[in-house]
């Protein structure tokens, strides 16, 4: 019987059949987390958007969460992949993507994310974009 402990042998794990979907860049700018307890959109964003579009790394070695990775690949540096760095996401723009979906992102219903919630998220994103830009300037 032979039992090896530790990383003595590396066996290739089977590739998931569904496969990785998105290319991922290492050029992602670092977003500074902005605590805005005064903004209701912060919690709504954290619960409804950040699990896919947040700043955290992706699961199991992925450098980015799926939504952040998808937008990073889509924009190729022309726009940030992180929503909290975007200054162009007004409530009407958010409404378009959230209610109509985009690619692998499905549509969100008013029962789960109201128009008022979207407006609050837009306010929060505008604030984070502003404050990150200001911090970057320093």
Residues engaged in binding another protein (CB under 8 A) = 1-22, 47, 51-52, 57-62, 65-67, 69, 99-101, 103-104, 106-112
Size (the chain), residues: 138
Give min distance, CB of 134 to another protein, in A.
28
Give phi and psi for 133, each to the nearest 5: -60, -40
**What element of type H or E holds 136?**
helix 115-137
62 or 90: CB nearest another protein: 62
The two structure tokens encoding residue 3: 């039992």
87 or 95: CB nearest another protein: 95
Give exposure, 39-76, as e/b (b: 16+ Cβ within 10 Å). bbbbebbeebbbebbbbeebeeeeebbbbbbbbbeeee
16 or 137: CB nearest another protein: 16
8 or 138: CB nearest another protein: 8
Give min distance, CB of 133 to another protein, in A.
27
Give min distance, CB of 89 to another protein, in A.
19
């Amino acid at each position: 019987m032979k039992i090896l402990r530790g990383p003595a042998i590396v066996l290739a794990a089977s590739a998931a059949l569904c496969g990785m979907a998105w290319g991922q860049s290492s050029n992602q700018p670092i977003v500074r987390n902005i605590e805005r307890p005064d903004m209701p959109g912060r919690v709504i964003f954290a619960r409804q958007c950040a699990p896919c579009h947040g700043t955290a790394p992706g699961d199991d070695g992925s450098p980015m969460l799926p939504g952040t990775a998808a937008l990073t690949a889509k924009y190729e540096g022309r726009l940030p992949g992180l929503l909290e760095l975007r200054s162009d996401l007004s409530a009407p723009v958010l409404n378009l993507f959230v209610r109509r979906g985009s690619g692998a992102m499905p549509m969100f219903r008013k029962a789960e994310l109201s128009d008022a919630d979207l407006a609050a998220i837009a306010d929060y994103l505008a604030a984070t974009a502003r404050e990150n830009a200001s911090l970057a300037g320093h």
